Chain A
C-alpha cells in the first residue's frame, strides 16, 4: 500500500484512521468537544454514523454489533456527560470481554484540570472498567494511538478501550500515516498453548470415566465453535455451556445437556458435581456457575484452557492450566487425541451417559402449557419454533433472560446476545439495534421485561430513523420478576418496591415512536400474534405479552449452595 503523506487536521485524521481500520459503523452523539470531528463526518459517506438517543445506548448498540459480528464496536461521544453516560455500557462490555473502541471528546489540552465546562477525567473514571485507555496529547500521536486502541481491544482477551481526545488535537495538523502493524513491548498476548501441558491434558482427558466439558464465552470470542464440535464429537463426552457460551455448541445436539449454573439444567449441574475430569474451555468459574466453591466439583481433576492467565485458578484450583487462544489450543489438543493410541473408555462412558439420562428424565424445564394466562416460557418456545432457531436474540436482565437462555435453543454462536457478567438492565433494545444494523436480513428479537425495557426505551427513535425493525418481545409480568422471585423465596414475600406501578401502555408507546404495538393476553393468541409480527418484516413490532405474574424461574441453586443442591419447581421437587 502506498503511504500517503498528506497534512491533515486531527478531525480528518480521525475519520481517515477509521476508514483505514475498516470501520463501517460508528455509534455516537455529538457535543462541543467533538464538533470538529462531527463536521468531518458530515463531509463523507464511508463511515455511517448512527445517532443514538442516549450515550449508554450507543455503547450497548456497538456492543451488540461486536458480539454478533466479531468486529470491534466503535463509539464516539462528547466530553463530560457524554463520557459519563458511557460508563454502564463500557463496564458491560468489560465484564463480557467484548471488543469496543470508545472515543470520548475532551476539553482543550490547556484547560484540562481546570474544572472547565463539561470536563471530566474520562481516563480516571473509565480506568477500572476498560482493558486499557489512552489520552491523546499530540496530534502526531492520534493515528498511532487509534491503531493501538483497535489492536488492544481485539487481541488477546478482548475488551473495551477508551481513547480520550482533547478538542485542540482535532484542530491541529500533521502528516497522516496509519501504521500497518503494532508492536508493544508491554503487550504480547500468548496464542499457542504449551505443548507439554496439552500433552498432559490429552492423557488426563482420555483417562476419564465421568468426563464433563464446560465451555464458556471464550469459545465464541475465539471463533472456536467448529473446533469445539469436532473435539466433543471425537470424545463422545457430555457438554454444557455457560450463559455466555450458549450457541458455542449446538443446543440441539445429543451430547449437549443444557446450560449450567444457578438456573441451568438439573442434569448439567449434577454432571458437573459428579464428574471425575472437568475440561473447562474459555469459561471463568463465575460464582453464578460454581455455587458454593467448597462443594464445587469435589471429585474432579480440572483442565482449564483460557487466554487470560489471571482467569486460570482464580476461584478454583486447577490441575492442568493451559494458557492460550481456545481455538489454537483445542485444535492442537484434538489432533493429539486423534493420533493417540488410547481411546475414550467406552464402557465407563456408557455407565456415565446412563446416569446422565436418568437425570435428564426428570425433565427439569417442564412447565404448564394448558393455562389461559400466558406462561413466559411458552412465548419463547413459540418464538424458537417460528424462527426455526435462526434468530438473533438479545435480552435484558431478569427472569425473561433466564427463560430465553433455557428455552431458545441456540445452534450457532453469536446469536445469543446478553449482558452476562454485569447483568445490565437496558442492554437488550440497543444491543438488538446494533445487531440488526449488521444483519438487516435476519430476524432480531429482543426478549425483555417491562422494567428493563424502559431503561433504554429512547432507542426506539434510533430504530425508526435508521430502519432497524427489531422485534421486541416484552414479557410483561408487572413485576421486576427476578427481584420478586428472590423476595418470595428469601424475604417471606415482602415485595419491597418490586411492583411496577404506572406501567405505560406499550402499544401506544410503540405507536408514538412510529412503530407497531401489539398486546397479547391469552395463551391461545400467542402463536398467531408472533406469526403476524414476524411477517411484518420491515416494521419494528413491540409485542406486549401479559404473562403470569407468579411464575418463577426453575430449577434454581440458591446462592451459596452447591451445584447438587438444585431446587426444581415446587410441584416437581424430588422426594
Chain B
C-alpha cells in the first residue's frame, strides 16, 4: 500500500543523504521525496511517499526514527490528510490544439503561465491522481516536458505534527 510519511528533521548538511541512503541501503521504495525548511530555519519538513506491506512500513518508520537527525515521523495516510503536488508542463500548442488545451486546463483548474507561438507552459496543483488524470487526458504527442514536485502533505483538522 502507498503511504505518505511526514518528517521533521534537523536542517543539517547531510540530513537528506541520511534519509535517501537509508532507503537505498535497505532496499525500501521511494516514490517521491520533497524537503524544505520550515518557519523555524533549523528544522526541515520532508514528505516522503513510499509503498510496502504493513511490516515494511513499520520498519521504514522505525529506521527513520532511529536516524539521529530525525526529530519526528508521522504516517499521514493513517488519518485524514491533504496531499498536494505541483505540476509544470510544457506542451506544443499550435493551431487548433491551442483551444483544446485551454479547455482542458480550465477543467482541471490549472493556469497557463507562459505562452509562445508554438507552446504553452501550464501550472497545476492537486493530488498526484489528479495530475495523472490531466496528463492522461492530453495527447501524448503534445507533451514537451514534465516537471513534478513530488507530494507535500499535511494532516486535516487542528492537530499539528
Q: Which single member of B21, B25, B71 contacts A186 (CB below 8 Å)?
A: B71
CB contact under 8 A between A127 and B63, given known A152-B68, A186-B9, A186-B70: no
Query: Which residues of chain A from 100 to 153 have a CB within 8 Å of any chain B CB?
Result: 123-124, 127-128, 131-133, 135, 152
Query: Which residues of chain A from 303 to 325 have a CB within 8 Å of any chain B CB?
Result: 308-310, 312-314, 317
Question: Are the CB atoms of A187 and B21 closer together than 8 Å?
Answer: no
Question: Are the CB atoms of A186 and B66 closer together than 8 Å?
Answer: no
User: Do most interface residues of chain B lie in helix, strand or loop, or is the interface mixed?
Assistant: helix
Question: Are the CB atoms of A313 and B58 closer together than 8 Å?
Answer: yes
- For the complex, is A574 an interface residue (Cβ under 8 Å from B)? no
Nearest CB in chain A: distance from B56 CB, A = 11
Contact with A along B50-61 (1 / 0, CB 8 A): 000001001100
Question: Are the CB atoms of B13 and A313 closer together than 8 Å?
Answer: no
Question: Are the CB atoms of B25 and A309 closer together than 8 Å?
Answer: no
Q: How far is the CA of A135 from the CA of B12 in the complex (A)?
A: 10
Q: How far is the CA of A133 from the CA of B63 in the complex (A)?
A: 16
Q: Tell me the nearest residue of chain A to B25, going by C-beta.
A: A128
Q: Which residues of B contact A309 (CB under 8 A)?
A: 62, 65-66
Most buried by B among A124, A131, A186, A312: A186
Query: What is the interface residue range for chain A against chain B?
Result: 20 to 34
Q: Which single member of B10, B14, B63 contacts A310 (CB below 8 Å)?
A: B63
Q: Which single member of B18, B62, B65 contacts A127 (CB below 8 Å)?
A: B18
- For the complex, is B79 an interface residue (Cβ under 8 Å from A)? no
Q: How far is the CA of A318 from the CA of B62 in the complex (A)?
A: 15
Q: Which residues of A contact B63 (CB under 8 A)?
A: 310
Question: Are the CB atoms of A135 and B62 closer together than 8 Å?
Answer: no
Question: Are the CB atoms of B65 and A187 closer together than 8 Å?
Answer: no
- For the complex, is A184 an interface residue (Cβ under 8 Å from B)? yes
- For the complex, is A3 an interface residue (Cβ under 8 Å from B)? no
Nearest CB in chain A: distance from B7 CB, A = 10
Question: Are the CB atoms of B59 and A124 closer together than 8 Å?
Answer: no
Question: Are the CB atoms of A131 and B13 closer together than 8 Å?
Answer: no
Question: Are the CB atoms of A184 and B25 closer together than 8 Å?
Answer: no
- For the complex, is A185 an interface residue (Cβ under 8 Å from B)? yes
Question: Are the CB atoms of B14 and A123 closer together than 8 Å?
Answer: yes
Q: Which residues of B contact A187 (CB under 8 A)?
A: 68
Q: Which residues of B contact A310 (CB under 8 A)?
A: 59, 62-63, 65-66
Nearest CB in chain A: distance from B44 CB, A = 11
Q: Which residues of B contact A123 (CB under 8 A)?
A: 14
Question: Are the CB atoms of B21 and A127 closer together than 8 Å?
Answer: yes
CB contact under 8 A between A308 and B66, given known A127-B17, A127-B21, A185-B71: yes
Query: Which residues of chain B from 1 to 39 have a CB within 8 Å of any chain A CB?
Result: 9-10, 13-14, 17-18, 21, 25
Nearest CB in chain B: distance from A355 CB, A = 33
Question: Are the CB atoms of A186 and B10 closer together than 8 Å?
Answer: yes
Query: Which residues of chain B from 55 to 98 have a CB within 8 Å of any chain A CB?
Result: 55, 58-59, 62-63, 65-66, 68-71
Q: Tell me the nearest residue of chain A to B72, going by C-beta.
A: A186
Q: Which residues of A contact B25 (CB under 8 A)?
A: 128
Most buried by A among B9, B14, B17: B14
Q: Which residues of B contact A314 (CB under 8 A)?
A: 59
Nearest CB in chain B: distance from A306 CB, A = 11
Q: Tell me the nearest residue of chain B to A184, going by C-beta.
A: B68
Q: How far is the CA of A313 from the CA of B53 in the complex (A)?
A: 14
Nearest CB in chain B: distance from A159 CB, A = 10
Q: Which residues of A contact B10 (CB under 8 A)?
A: 186
Nearest CB in chain B: distance from A133 CB, A = 8
Q: Tell me the nearest residue of chain B to A309, going by C-beta.
A: B62
Question: Are the CB atoms of B9 and A127 closer together than 8 Å?
Answer: no
Nearest CB in chain A: distance from B160 CB, A = 16
Q: Which residues of B contact A185 (CB under 8 A)?
A: 71
Q: Which residues of A contact B62 (CB under 8 A)?
A: 309-310, 312
Contact with B along A409-434 (1 / 0, CB 8 A): 00000000000000000000000000
Q: How far is the CA of A308 from the CA of B67 in the complex (A)?
A: 12
Q: Which single member of B17, B55, B66, B69 contacts A124 (CB below 8 Å)?
A: B17
Q: How far is the CA of A187 from the CA of B69 in the complex (A)?
A: 8
Q: Which residues of B contact A184 (CB under 8 A)?
A: 68
Q: How far is the CA of A309 from the CA of B13 in the complex (A)?
A: 26
Q: Which residues of A contact B21 (CB under 8 A)?
A: 127-128
Q: Which residues of B contact A132 (CB under 8 A)?
A: 68-69
Q: Tell me the nearest residue of chain B to A161, going by C-beta.
A: B68
Most buried by B among A127, A152, A312: A127
Contact with B along A70-84 (1 / 0, CB 8 A): 000000000000000
Residues of B in contact with A (beta carbons under 8 Å apart) = 9-10, 13-14, 17-18, 21, 25, 55, 58-59, 62-63, 65-66, 68-71
Closest 8 CB pairs of A and B: A310-B62, A132-B68, A186-B71, A309-B62, A187-B68, A310-B63, A128-B25, A310-B66
Residues of A in contact with B (beta carbons under 8 Å apart) = 123-124, 127-128, 131-133, 135, 152, 184-187, 308-310, 312-314, 317
Q: Could you show 29 A-B contacts with beta carbons less than 8 Å apart?
A: A124-B17, A127-B14, A127-B17, A127-B18, A127-B21, A128-B21, A128-B25, A133-B14, A135-B13, A152-B68, A184-B68, A185-B71, A186-B9, A186-B68, A186-B69, A186-B70, A186-B71, A187-B68, A308-B66, A309-B65, A310-B59, A310-B62, A310-B63, A310-B66, A312-B62, A313-B55, A313-B58, A314-B59, A317-B55
